[in-house]
C-alpha cells in the first residue's frame, strides 16, 4: 500500500471516488492544509505543504501540486532534490483564458467607466471604443495557458504572436513565435500584450520601464501569470505618462497590493486579487480538472510509469 496524504480541499464525492478507484493500492489520509501529522509517513502528497515541513517527510517520493505555479518550491532551496514535483498545469487554461478575453473586451468597450457611472446614476456616453477583431496580440508564454488564450483569440481573427523560452517549431494557435531573446522585436508589433509566464529568474522584471515603452502607445497590457513579470513602479510611471492605453492585472508585485498603492487610483487600470484561475470553492469545472489530473498521475505512479506535468526544479516550470 502506498501512503498518500491529501491536503487539498476534497469534496465528499471526490474522496469517495479516490478511495473506490484506488482501493488496495493507496491508503489515503485526508487532512486540512494545516494538519501535517501524517506527513512523516507519506510517500505521496497531493497539495502544497510548507516547504519547511518537508524535511520531516522522510518517506516522501512525490508531491502533486494542485496549482499551476510552482515557485512556492522551485524558488526555495529547501525542496528535496530527490522528490518528484508535478503541478496542475492543464487544469486552469480554460478559465484563465476566459478572464483574459473578458478583461480585454471590458477595457476596449469602456465597461469600467460605465460601471462607475452606473453607481452615480449617470446616462453618459464614455467616448471612443475599440474592437478586438483583427488586432495583433502578443502572448508572453506558449505553455498550456498561452495556448488556451491563443485558442480563444481565434474567434476574433487576431494575429496571434507568441514568446517562449526557445522556439523549436510551430505551436498551434500562434501565427508567429519569437524566442524570449527577441522580445524587444516583438513588443512594438502588438496592440495587446498578455503575460502568461511563470516566475523564474528569466522572467522576473522582464517588463521593465524600457520594455514597457517599446510597446505601442495605444497598447493594452494584461497580466495573468506572475506579478514579478512587471516592474511595478515602472508600470505606474509609464501609465501616468500616457504611454499605454491601460492595464488589466490579476497578479501584482507585491501581493496583496497595499491599499495605498498608486496602481489602485489609476483610471485606466483594473485590478483583481489573483482570481483569474478560480479553483477550489469557486469553479466546479476546474476542480474536476484538477482531480482528473491527480487521478491520472496516481495511476501512473502506482504502475511505475512516467508522471505527467513533471516540474524541472532548475528551470522553475
| Residues belonging to the active site | 226, 255, 274
| Distance of alpha carbon 176 from alpha carbon 100, whole angstroms | 20
Burial class (CB in 10 A: 0-12, 13-18, 19+), 135: buried
| Distance of alpha carbon 239 from alpha carbon 259, whole angstroms | 19
Which residue bears the cell 506572475?
226
∠ Cα 17 66 207 (to 5°): 155
DSSP secondary structure letter of residue 75: T
* Cβ-contact 36, 60 below 8 angstroms: no
Phi, psi of 54 (to 5 degrees): -70, -20
Per-residue cell: 116: 462607475
Sign of the dihedral through C-alpha 145, 149, 151, 152? positive
Residue 162 neighbours by CB under 8 Å, 6+ apart = 138, 139, 140, 141, 142, 146, 150, 171, 174, 176, 177, 178
Q: E strands of the chain, at which residues?
A: 2-6, 26-30, 44-46, 62-64, 84-86, 136-140, 159-164, 176-179, 192-195, 220-223, 246-249, 269-271
3-state SS assignment for residue 195:
strand
Outline where the chain has alpha helix (H).
12-21, 71-74, 93-108, 111-120, 144-153, 183-186, 209-214, 232-240, 284-303
| Distance of alpha carbon 306 from alpha carbon 297, whole angstroms | 9
DSSP secondary structure letter of residue 134: T
Amino acid at each position: 500500500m502506498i501512503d498518500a496524504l491529501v491536503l487539498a480541499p476534497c469534496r465528499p464525492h471526490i474522496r469517495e471516488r479516490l478511495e473506490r478507484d484506488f482501493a488496495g493500492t493507496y491508503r489515503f489520509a485526508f487532512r486540512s492544509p494545516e494538519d501535517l501529522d501524517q506527513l512523516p509517513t507519506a510517500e505521496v502528497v497531493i497539495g502544497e505543504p510548507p516547504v519547511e515541513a518537508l524535511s520531516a517527510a522522510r518517506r516522501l517520493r512525490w508531491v502533486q501540486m494542485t496549482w499551476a505555479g510552482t515557485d512556492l518550491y522551485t524558488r526555495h532551496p529547501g525542496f528535496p532534490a530527490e522528490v518528484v514535483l508535478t503541478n496542475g498545469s492543464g487544469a486552469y487554461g480554460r478559465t484563465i483564458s476566459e478572464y483574459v478575453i473578458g478583461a480585454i473586451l471590458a477595457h476596449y468597450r469602456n465597461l469600467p467607466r460605465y460601471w462607475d457611472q452606473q453607481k452615480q446614476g449617470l446616462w453618459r456616453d464614455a467616448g471612443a471604443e475599440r474592437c478586438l477583431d483583427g488586432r495583433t496580440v502578443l502572448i508572453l508564454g506558449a505553455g498550456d495557458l498561452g495556448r488556451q488564450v491563443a485558442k480563444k483569440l481565434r474567434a476574433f481573427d487576431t494575429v496571434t504572436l507568441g514568446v517562449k523560452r526557445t522556439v523549436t517549431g510551430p505551436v498551434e494557435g500562434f501565427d508567429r513565435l519569437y524566442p524570449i531573446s527577441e522580445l524587444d522585436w516583438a513588443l512594438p508589433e502588438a496592440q495587446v500584450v498578455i503575460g502568461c509566464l511563470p516566475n523564474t529568474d528569466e522572467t522576473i522584471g522582464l517588463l521593465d520601464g524600457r520594455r514597457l515603452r517599446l510597446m505601442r502607445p495605444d497598447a493594452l497590457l494584461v497580466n495573468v501569470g506572475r506579478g514579478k513579470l512587471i516592474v511595478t513602479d515602472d508600470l505606474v510611471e509609464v501609465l501616468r505618462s500616457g504611454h499605454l492605453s491601460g492595464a488589466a492585472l490579476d497578479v501584482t508585485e507585491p501581493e496583496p497590493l497595499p491599499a495605498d498603492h498608486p496602481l489602485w487610483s489609476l483610471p485606466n487600470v483594473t485590478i483583481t486579487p489573483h482570481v483569474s484561475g478560480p479553483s477550489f470553492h469557486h469553479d466546479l469545472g476546474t476542480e474536476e480538472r484538477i482531480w482528473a489530473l491527480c487521478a491520472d498521475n496516481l495511476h501512473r505512479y502506482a504502475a511505475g510509469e512516467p508522471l505527467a506535468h513533471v516540474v524541472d526544479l532548475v528551470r522553475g516550470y
